[in-house]
């Protein structure tokens, strides 16, 4: 029974490895595709990571900051700060949230990064993303204090007065050559894929278990019969 469970876990990790590789390939392919208008109906299974283009205007006075980390300029070091989620009124009047990118903690106040604000009509290019689920280790949001710890699309939209906003957000692409904040293009496709290592671990434990049982069985089969009593 234990051997079957270990082998099953190993096979499951190989399946997860294939799924993760397919996801990475999907993100890379879609992020490099020519941007298209967002679909009229959001289907996460079909539209997640779709590269889209929308025209409209940012409502900068309604932005929301979400606690987060981003890769620093020094390899292996992360920056602590916020993701700037800003409502975007599209040309057709509909609303969508846009993750404009990351700002470090010292630039939390919008007044300290006025050069990064986009005023007037503009066009946004980025990837469609679903709402980020809150895990048990992530603090609950406090909409009253505007404290958010995950990119909760419906929660943020409702708190900012746009409950009718699209059920997804757009992760803005990086602006080539831009040195202002926030900085888009924070989605990384180097997702961890350790499932092959995990599979080898489970198969290795199964092999050890099989070896121990084989030695035990061999000894039992080859040990001399105990002498019978008088």
Tokens describing residue 20: 């993760």
Determine which of 65-69, 94-98, 156-160, 182-186 has the lowest per-residue pLDDT on average. Answer: 182-186
The 10s digit of each residue's pLDDT in 113-150 is 999 999 999 999 999 999 999 988 899 999 988 899 99
More confident residue, 207 or 80: 80
Distance set, CA 158 to CA 135, 175, 184 (Å):
20, 29, 24
Burial grade of 171 (CB within 10 A; 0-12, 13-18, 19 or more):
buried
- Measured CA to CA, the distance from residue 211 to residue 209 in angstroms comes to 5
Task: Give 175's pLDDT tier (boundaries 50, 70, 90).
Answer: confident
Confidence (pLDDT) at 230? 46
Q: Are 52 and 42 in contact (CB under 8 A)?
A: no
With a threshold of 0.85, does the pTM exceed it? no
The 10s digit of each residue's pLDDT in 31-71 is 778 999 999 899 998 898 999 999 999 999 999 999 998 87
Distance set, CA 44 to CA 130, 175, 180 (Å):
7, 26, 31
């Amino acid at each position: 029974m234990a051997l079957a469970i270990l082998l099953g876990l190993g096979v499951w990790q190989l399946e997860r490895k294939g799924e993760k590789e397919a996801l990475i390939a999907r993100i890379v392919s879609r992020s490099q595709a020519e941007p298209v208008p967002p679909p009229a109906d959001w289907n996460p299974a079909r539209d997640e990571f779709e590269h889209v283009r929308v025209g409209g205007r940012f409502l900068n006075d309604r932005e929301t900051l979400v606690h987060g980390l981003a890769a620093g300029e020094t390899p292996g070091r992360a920056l602590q700060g916020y993701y700037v989620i800003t409502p975007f009124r599209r040309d057709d009047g509909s609303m969508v949230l846009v993750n404009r990118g990351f700002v470090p903690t010292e630039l939390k106040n919008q007044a300290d990064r006025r050069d990064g604000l986009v005023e007037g009509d503009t066009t946004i290019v980025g990837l469609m993303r679903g709402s980020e689920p809150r895990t048990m280790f992530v603090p609950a949001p406090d909409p009253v204090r505007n404290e958010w710890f995950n990119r909760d699309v419906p929660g943020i939209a409702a708190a900012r007065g746009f409950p009718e906003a699209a059920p997804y957000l757009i992760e803005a692409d990086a602006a080539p050559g831009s040195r202002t904040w926030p900085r888009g293009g924070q989605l990384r496709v180097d997702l961890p894929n350790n499932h092959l290592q995990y599979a080898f671990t489970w198969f290795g434990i199964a092999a050890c278990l099989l070896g121990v049982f084989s030695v035990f069985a061999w000894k039992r089969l080859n040990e001399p019969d105990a002498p019978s009593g008088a």
